[in-house]
Chains A and B, each alone.
Chain A
Amino acid sequence: MITAGIDVGAKTIKVVIVKDNKIVARSINPTGFEPLETAEKTLNEAAKQAGISRQDIKKIYATGAGRKNIPFADHNVTEVTADAKGTNYLRPSVRTIVDIGAEEARGISCDPSGKVLDFSKNDKCAAGAGAFVESMSRALEVTVPQMIEFSHKSTKDAPINATCAVFAESEVVSLIHSKIEKADIAHAVHDAIASRVSSMVRRIPIEKDVALIGGVANNTAIVEAMKKHLGVDVVVPENPDFVSALGAALLAAA
């Protein structure tokens, strides 16, 4: 059976196609202002990559912030459920999942079958999410990859105390004016995000193994900072930004 999962995220739309419980295609595009069109385009790209037609896909499940706006999906599931399913497929030993996306972060506790036991999410605040990293990279006048590279070269801790993205940005500006090295500021930004996300995740039981997924999991500086703040090793599954879409595709096949 061929199924597809579409993750309609705030910044990107991801599609995963699964055939007989195996991943056969992945595709990603910026969400833009026409998420429905982007979802169609991303799905078609993934189908082409898999060498199948749209008609071959028996079921489509949508997830993500815009999941309810995909009329061609057969059903929609929340990111939490999709994350747990997708992670369980990739890393069955994981019991705690940290998903950091562009606008939202969440912590999920799950059982060995991938069933959600508990979850926590951030409220009305992007300070613990990917959009914040991008915003801070603009303040530092570097690209995100450069910021990650700088962060790994940091030798000193610089303080960013604010839990609000707006105030944190003004703190970054102050640090720039204080002639603090870009590397140390970049490190401080990642550290601040990890601190905020970790405190939110601690609202649920943190049981090993811990996985970091979502687009931000591609940021190695965040991964290091999360390990430090959670006090445990953190595994990053392959293609961490596709885990939600994968979970949706697997749920569609169930």
Chain B
Amino acid sequence: MAHELTWQIVRVLLYVVGLIAFAAFNAAYLSLLERKIPAWFQLRYGPKEVGPWGLLQPVADGVKLLTKQLLVQAESDVLLFKLAPVMVVVPAIMCLALIPFSEVLWARNINVGLLALFSFSAIHVLGTMLGGWSSYNKYASIAAARVVAQNIAYEIPLLLVMVTFVMVTHSMNLFDIVQQQAGGFWHWYLLRVQASPLMPVAFVIFFICMLAEANRAPFDMFEAESELVAGAFTEYSGMGFGLFFIAEYANVLVSCSLATVLFLGGWQCPFGLLPGLHWFLIKMYALCFVVIWVRWSFPRTQFYGLLNLSWKFLIPVAFLHLVLTAVMLKLF
């Protein structure tokens, strides 16, 4: 018994360290990719001085952020100001703990994994809002208000699509969902049109909503550089800003991992042959590429355009999908 307990504790600690390292490493190198990929689109090189192919650039950025003075304004609410970055990073890493990377590589296998994941991911909204509000800066408070409105608007179609999804899979356990997609890529939920003809549409809605939740362009209203300088993060310097930065990429990572697990078959091979961690990583990074690609291709929407898209378009389509799936389930 004691042996079992010790092993469990060690395992948990290993996973905690491993996940934080994974999130931080990915955040660092996604930020490099974020600069190299648009450079490729824009006929230029991107960072290439620091290390071969710019590979040490994130290290340089990290060192720069760590060596900056952490300024806190006297009039700002100091406790909330310091708490906000933490509140944004921690939920992202907690979500990573729930995702099964491969058959053997997962931190926690909860029966209501999907529900827990969405509950955790909602906390980062609060963190961003507090960051903006406690900064005692007009730009930051406008940005904070925008973040809340945007995130509320995009939670709804996301959860509607997820409710429909759970109706089809009969399970909220992420491990089981991936097992259900074994075989070949025709078993993936993306293409399960026999369950609901609008499944691919559901994937697109899911993807758009995850982009909006992660505050990525074209939904990066709160960070609209040319309007609000740096949005909710205006007053943050040094590692405070760095934590928000890591959180953004960690959120992107969580979104892409979740999309992979739910719709693209997780660690399953497209042809049913060699399943494993490598497939998961390939699919996840392909989705990350699409996220970066979308960011650098589109201008920013207006704020009401963004909300209109959600309330007037995505929610009706998600409802339609829900009803259609229910009908299909009843009939077949």
Do A and B interact?
Answer: no
A-side residues, CB < 8 A to B, are: none
